[in-house]
C-alpha cells in the first residue's frame, strides 16, 4: 500500500493569500504526553512529510513571535504549561469526550487542544485534513477557530483478516497500521477483529502472517493509538447445551482472547453465522462473559438477534425483560426481522444499542442498491468497489438515530473505503454534507489540487448506478472526468490505490454501458429477423437471428475493457485486491472477483440459441413457426391483457410500491429488484425479479378490468432463493396453495375465478410462511401475464 497523497509540484511562488506558511514550523508537545498522544504526534509528523517532504522538528519551547509553530496536547495540559493560552483555550461548551479545538493565533501559533487523549488524536487528524500540501510547502487558512466533539460515542469499522475478504487477507502489519491511521484521521475510534476460526477457510494463499499473530498485531495497534478494539466472535458450535461442547468453546475463545493486548468488547451474532436458540445462547454468553472479564477486566459483552425466527425473537425479548446484568448491549445487524426502531422500543433502555450496518455489499444484502441495473448486477456482482455516499447518508439518517451508542460497520475489504469515511464523518457530525466529506477525502488522500474534482467523481460513480444503464448518459461523462484526472496525474497518484479504485469503476461502468447498448441492439435485430419467419421461413429467420447475435470481431468497448484489466493488475500490486479467481486467486467470483464477469452476456442470446436448437429439431414447419411466434410475442399478453417485467424498473406498472427508500433503505416494507438464476442463463426478463423480505407480501394491483371478462394468470418465479409461497386474490381467494415455488424459470398458469375480477379490479398477493428466520428472502416474482381468456 503506497503512500497516499504525494507532493504535487514545486511551490516557488509562495502561498495563496489568507494562508499561514507552516513549511518552516516547529512542533511543540504538551509535557507528560501519554503513549496514544505521542502516537498522534508521530502520525501528524509522518503524514505531513509524506505529502510535502516537510518534517517539522519537535521543540520544547514556544517559538519567537512571528515564527510558526504547532502546539499539540490536551487542553488542560497546554493551559498548565503555557498559561498565556488560558484565555484562548477557555471552555466553549464542547468539552465532551474525544473533542478538540483548533485555533490559529496572531503570534503564528496553531494550537490543537484535545479534551482528552483521543481528542488530541482526532484534533491532529483534523489538522491534517485542513492543511494544503505541495512540494516543500505546508499551509493552513489563517483564520481558524474550530471547536467540535462527536455526536456518537462509537464510530468503528470491522477489519477482518480472513480469506473471505477481497483484499484484507493480503495486507501486512504496516499496511494495517496505515489503514487504521487513515480511518482515525477521519474520526474512527474503534475497529472490530475476527478470530482465526470463523465461517471461513482456515488459510489463504495471500496471508503474509498467521491469522492469530495478525490479530495480536492489530489489537496492539488499537492499544498504541488508544482506540477501541472489538472482537466479532461467531458462535458456530452445533450444541451449546452439551457441557463438553461448551467447555471446548470456552477454552478455544479464551486461548484467542488472552493473547490480545487490548479488548474492549466482544460481539457475538445470533446468526449469520450461528444458529443457537436464545434459551441456550444466553447461558453460553454469560459463561463467556465471566471468562472475558477475567482476561480483560474492562471488556463488555454484546449480542444480536440476527437470523432469529419469530419464535426465537419472542424468546429473546422474554429473556431481555429479565435484564441480565452481564450483558452490555444489543447489536442491530443484517438478517433481522424487525427494524432498529422496533428493536430499540422493545429492548430495555438500560442496554446500549449499536448499529452494525452492511456497507460492503451491493446485492443480496441488508442495504442493496435500489433498482440496480441488470448489467451491473451480473458483472459487478455483490462486492464491487462501491462508493455510495448518498445511499449511506440516507441509511445513516433513517436508521442510526435509534442506535444511540453508535455503530461499527460490517466490511469485507477496501472496496467500501469511501463508505467507511462517510460513516465516520456522519458519526462525528450527522449534519455534515456528504459532498464536504468527499472533498476532504479527495484533498487528503489524492491531493490538495484535485480533491474537489475527485470527490465529485466519487459522487458521480454512485450516480452511474441510478436508473436504467442504457439511458444513463452520465456514465460516459463520469469516465471523461476521471480520464482528465488520469491524464494530468502524477506518477504517485497513478500508484495510489484509492485513485486506482475510482478509475477501475469508471472504466468498468463505461465498458458495461457500451456493451449493453450494443448487445441490446443485437437482440432487437435478431427479433426483427424472427418476426419475418412466416415470409422468409423458419430456417432463414433463425440463421439470420443467430448471425445478429454473434460477438463482433472488433468490440466497441475494447479500449475501456483493456484498461479495466490494467487497473485490476495495479490494484493487486498496490493492495493485494483480488479482482479475479484465475488471475489473483480470489476465493470466489461473488467475493469481489468481478473481472471474471466482465464479458457476461447482457442479452438473452444464450437462452435464444437453446430455443433455436429446439425449434430446428422439430419436424413440422408449422410447429417451428408457432414456436418462433412465441419468442417474438413473449411479452405480448394478448388483447385486453397485461404484462409486467417485475425486475425491470419502469416495466412493472401493476407492482404495489411500499415505503419510500429514504425511510426504509433495508426494504423491510417495500419490494426491491433482484437477480437470480444465472446458473440457468434464462431470458433477461426471467432472471430479474421483484422480491420482498420476511413476512412482508409482494402485491400487484390491476384497476379498470373488464368486469364480464375471464382472465388467466401466467407467472415465472425468481430463482435466487428457494421458498414455499402462497398466492391469493383480493386477500381471500386462494390461487396457489402454499408450496415450493418452481426454480427452473418455466411459466406456471392459473385460472382466475370470475368472482375475483367481477368488481373490475384485482389484487394479487404472494406470501411465504410467516415467522421464518434467516435472510428473509424467497418471495421473488420475475414476470406476470394477466391474459384475457377469449
The 3 state secondary structure assigned to 183-227 is HHHCCCCEEEECCCCCCCCCCCCCCCCCHHHHHHHHHHHHHHHCC
Indicate where the chain has its CATH 3.30.379.10 domain(s): 19-148
Cell of 105: 493565533
DSSP 271: B
Q: In what order do the strands lie in the sheet with 724-729?
A: 698-702, 762-767, 724-729, 733-740
Contact 108, 70 (CB under 8 A): no
Task: Mark out the alpha helices in 107-190 (DSSP H runs).
Answer: 117-130, 173-185
Rounded to an integer, what distance in angstroms lies between the CA atom of residue 474 and that of residue 451?
A: 21
Topology of domain 19-148, CATH: Chitobiase; domain 2 (3.30.379)
Which helix (H) or strand (E) segment holds residue 509: the answer is helix 497-531
CA distance readout (Å), 463 to 424, 460, 467, 512: 22, 5, 9, 15
**What string of DSSP letters covers 348-396?**
-TTSEEEE--B-S-SSSSSSPPTT--HHHHHHT-SS-----HHHHHHHH
Contact 388, 437 (CB under 8 A): no
- Return the pLDDT at 304: 98
Chain-centre distance for alpha carbon 67: 46
CA distance readout (Å), 312 to 279, 697, 751, 762: 9, 21, 39, 36
Question: What does the angle CA 69 – CA 73 – CA 75 come to, to the nearest 5 degrees?
Answer: 110
The pair phi, psi for residue 718, each rounded to 5°, is -70, 150
- Return the pLDDT at 200: 86
Contact 441, 447 (CB under 8 A): no
| Helix, strand, coil shares, percent, the chain, to 5 | 40, 20, 40
Rounded to an integer, what distance in angstroms lies between the CA atom of residue 291 and that of residue 251?
A: 9
Rounded to an integer, what distance in angstroms lies between the CA atom of residue 60 and that of residue 31?
A: 8
- Return the pLDDT at 84: 86
In the CATH hierarchy, which top-level class contains the domain 634-790? mainly beta
Rounded to an integer, what distance in angstroms lies between the CA atom of residue 173 and that of residue 275?
A: 33
Cell of 257: 482472547
Cell of 148: 467540535
Rounded to an integer, what distance in angstroms lies between the CA atom of residue 2 and that of residue 13?
A: 29
Rounded to an integer, what distance in angstroms lies between the CA atom of residue 418 and that of residue 206?
A: 24
- Return the pLDDT at 18: 81
Topology of domain 154-432, CATH: TIM Barrel (3.20.20)
- Return the pLDDT at 2: 44
Taking the CB of residue 754, how many other CB atoms lie within 10 A of it? 12
Q: Spell out the residues 6+ positions from residue 549 whose beta carbon is closer than 8 angstroms to its own.
A: 522, 523, 526, 603, 605, 608, 609
Indicate where the chain has its CATH 2.60.120.430 domain(s): 634-790
Q: Spell out the residues 6+ positions from residue 649 whose beta carbon is closer than 8 angstroms to its own.
A: 371, 467, 468, 673
Per-10-residue mean pLDDT of the chain, 790 residues long, equals 48 61 97 96 98 96 88 95 87 84 92 97 98 96 93 98 93 98 98 93 94 98 98 95 96 98 98 94 98 98 96 97 98 95 97 98 95 95 97 97 98 97 98 98 97 98 97 98 97 97 98 98 98 97 97 94 98 97 95 96 96 97 97 97 96 96 95 79 93 96 97 96 96 96 94 97 97 90 97
Which helix (H) or strand (E) segment holds residue 637: the answer is none
Cell of 763: 389484487
Taking the CB of residue 211, how many other CB atoms lie within 10 A of it? 24
CB-based burial of residue 19 (10 Å sphere; 0-12 exposed, 13-18 middle, 19+ buried)?
middle
Which helix (H) or strand (E) segment holds residue 475: the answer is helix 474-487
Contact 520, 467 (CB under 8 A): no
**What string of DSSP letters covers 581-614?**
HHHH--S-TTTT-GGGGTT--SSSHHHHHHHHHH
Taking the CB of residue 738, how many other CB atoms lie within 10 A of it? 12
CB-based burial of residue 335 (10 Å sphere; 0-12 exposed, 13-18 middle, 19+ buried)?
buried
Q: Spell out the residues 6+ positions from residue 151 whose beta carbon is closer than 8 angstroms to its own.
A: 427, 428, 429, 430
CB-based burial of residue 508 (10 Å sphere; 0-12 exposed, 13-18 middle, 19+ buried)?
buried
Indicate where the chain has its CATH 3.20.20.80 domain(s): 154-432
At 764 the three-state DSSP class reads strand
Rounded to an integer, what distance in angstroms lies between the CA atom of residue 312 and that of residue 687?
A: 34
User: Kind of pairing, strands 762-767 and 698-702?
Assistant: antiparallel
Unique residue bearing C-alpha cell 447475435: 549
At 33 the three-state DSSP class reads coil
What is the largest distance, in Å, between two alpha-carbon atoms of the chain? Answer: 101
Rounded to an integer, what distance in angstroms lies between the CA atom of residue 524 and that of residue 143?
A: 62
Amino acid at each position: 500500500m503506497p503512500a497516499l497523497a504525494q507532493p504535487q509540484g514545486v511551490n516557488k511562488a509562495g502561498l495563496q493569500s489568507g494562508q499561514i506558511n507552516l513549511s518552516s514550523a516547529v512542533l511543540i508537545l504538551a509535557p507528560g504526553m501519554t503513549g496514544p498522544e505521542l502516537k498522534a504526534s508521530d502520525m501528524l509528523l509522518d503524514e505531513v512529510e509524506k505529502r510535502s517532504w516537510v518534517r517539522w522538528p519537535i521543540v520544547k519551547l514556544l517559538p519567537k513571535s512571528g515564527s510558526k509553530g504547532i502546539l499539540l496536547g490536551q487542553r488542560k495540559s497546554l493551559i498548565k504549561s503555557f498559561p498565556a493560552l488560558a484565555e484562548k483555550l477557555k471552555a466553549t461548551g464542547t468539552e465532551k469526550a474525544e473533542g478538540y479545538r483548533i485555533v490559529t493565533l496572531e503570534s503564528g501559533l496553531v494550537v490543537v487542544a484535545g479534551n482528552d487523549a483521543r481528542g488530541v488524536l482526532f484534533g491532529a487528524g483534523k489538522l491534517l485534513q485542513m492543511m494544503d500540501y505541495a512540494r516543500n510547502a505546508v499551509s493552513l487558512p489563517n483564520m481558524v477557530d474550530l471547536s467540535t466533539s462527536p455526536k456518537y460515542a462509537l464510530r468503528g469499522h470491522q477489519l477482518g483478516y480472513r480469506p473471505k475478504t477481497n483484499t484484507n487477507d493480503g495486507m501486512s502489519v504496516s499496511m494495517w497500521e496505515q489503514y487504521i491511521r487513515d480511518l482515525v484521521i477521519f474520526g474512527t475510534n474503534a475497529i472490530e477483529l475476527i478470530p482465526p476460526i470463523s465461517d471461513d477457510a482456515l488459510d489463504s494463499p495471500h496471508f503474509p502472517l498467521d491469522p492469530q499473530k495478525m490479530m495480536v498485531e492489530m489489537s496492539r495497534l488499537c492499544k498504541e493509538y488508544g482506540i477501541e478494539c472489538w472482537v466479532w466472535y461467531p458462535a458456530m458450535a452445533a450444541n451449546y447445551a452439551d457441557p463438553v461442547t461448551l467447555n471446548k468453546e470456552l477454552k478455544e475463545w479464551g486461548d484467542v482472547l488472552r493473547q490480545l493486548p487490548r479488548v474492549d468488547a466482544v460481539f457475538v451474532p445470533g446468526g449469520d453465522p450461528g444458529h443457537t436458540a436464545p434459551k441456550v445462547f444466553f447461558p453460553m454468553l454469560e459463561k463467556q462473559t465471566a471468562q472475558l472479564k477475567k482476561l480483560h477486566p474492562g471488556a463488555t459483552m454484546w449480542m444480536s438477534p440476527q437470523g432469529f425466527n419469530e419464535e426465537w425473537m419472542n424468546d429473546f425479548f422474554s429473556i431481555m425483560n429479565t435484564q441480565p446484568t452481564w450483558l452490555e448491549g444489543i447489536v442491530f445487524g443484517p438478517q433481522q426481522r424487525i427494524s432498529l426502531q422496533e428493536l430499540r422500543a422493545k429492548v430495555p433502555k438500560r442496554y446500549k444499542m449499536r448499529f452494525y450496518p452492511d456497507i460492503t455489499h451491493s446485492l443480496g444484502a441488508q442495504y442493496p442498491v435500489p433498482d440496480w441495473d441488470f448489467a451491473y448486477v451480473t458483472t459487478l456482482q455483490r462486492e464491487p468497489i462501491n462508493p455510495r455516499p448518498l445511499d449511506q447518508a440516507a441509511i445513516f439518517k433513517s436508521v442510526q438515530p435509534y442506535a444511540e451508542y453508535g455503530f461499527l460497520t460490517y466490511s469485507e475489504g477496501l472496496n467500501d473505503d469511501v463508505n467507511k469515511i462517510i460513516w465516520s464523518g456522519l458519526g462525528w457530525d450527522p449534519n455534515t454534507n456528504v459532498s464536504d466529506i468527499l472533498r476532504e477525502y479527495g484533498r487528503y488522500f489524492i491531493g490538495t489540487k484535485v480533491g474537489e474534482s475527485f470527490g465529485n467523481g466519487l459522487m458521480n460513480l454512485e450516480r452511474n448506478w441510478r436508473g436504467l444503464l442504457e439511458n444513463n448518459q452520465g456514465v460516459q461523462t463520469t469516465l471523461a472526468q476521471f480520464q482528465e484526472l488520469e491524464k494530468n496525474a502524477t506518477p504517485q497518484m497513478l500508484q495510489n490505490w484509492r485513485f486506482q479504485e475510482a478509475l477501475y469503476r469508471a472504466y468498468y461502468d463505461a465498458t458495461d454501458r457500451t456493451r449493453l447498448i450494443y448487445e441490446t441492439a443485437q437482440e432487437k435485430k435478431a427479433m426483427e429477423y424472427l418476426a419475418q419467419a412466416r415470409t422468409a421461413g423458419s430456417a432463414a429467420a433463425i440463421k439470420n437471428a443467430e448471425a445478429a447475435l454473434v460477438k463482433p470481431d472488433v468490440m466497441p468497448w475494447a479500449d475501456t475493457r483493456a484498461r479495466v484489466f490494467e487497473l485490476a493488475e495495479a490494484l493487486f500490486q498496490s493492495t493485494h485486491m483480488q479482482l479475479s479467481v484465475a488471475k489473483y486467486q480470489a476465493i470466489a467470483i461473488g467475493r469481489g472477483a468481478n473481472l471474471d464477469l466482465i464479458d457476461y452476456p447482457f442479452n438473452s442470446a444464450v437462452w435464444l440459441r437453446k430455443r433455436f436448437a429446439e425449434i430446428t429439431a422439430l419436424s413440422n414447419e408449422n410447429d417451428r413457426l408457432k414456436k418462433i411466434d412465441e419468442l417474438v410475442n413473449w411479452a405480448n399478453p394478448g388483447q385486453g391483457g397485461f404484462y409486467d417485467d417485475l425486475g425491470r424498473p419502469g416495466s412493472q406498472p401493476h407492482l404495489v410500491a411500499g415505503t419510500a427508500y429514504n425511510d426504509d433503505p433495508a426494504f423491510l416494507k417495500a419490494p426491491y429488484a433482484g437477480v437470480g438464476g444465472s446458473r440457468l442463463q434464462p431470458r433477461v426478463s426471467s432472471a430479474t425479479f421483484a422480491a420482498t423480505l420476511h413476512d412482508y407480501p409482494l402485491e400487484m394491483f390491476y384497476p379498470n378490468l373488464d368486469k364480464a371478462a375471464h382472465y388467466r394468470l401466467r407467472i415465472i418465479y425468481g430463482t435466487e432463493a428457494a421458498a414455499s409461497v402462497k398466492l391469493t386474490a383480493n386477500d381471500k381467494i386462494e390461487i396457489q396453495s402454499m408450496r415450493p415455488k418452481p426454480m427452473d424459470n418455466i411459466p406456471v398458469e392459473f385460472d382466475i375465478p370470475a368472482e375475483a375480477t367481477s368488481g373490475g379490479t384485482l389484487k394479487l398477493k404472494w406470501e411465504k410462511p410467516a415467522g421464518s428466520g434467516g435472510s428473509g428472502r424467497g418471495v421473488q416474482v420475475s414476470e406476470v401475464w394477466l391474459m384475457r381468456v377469449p
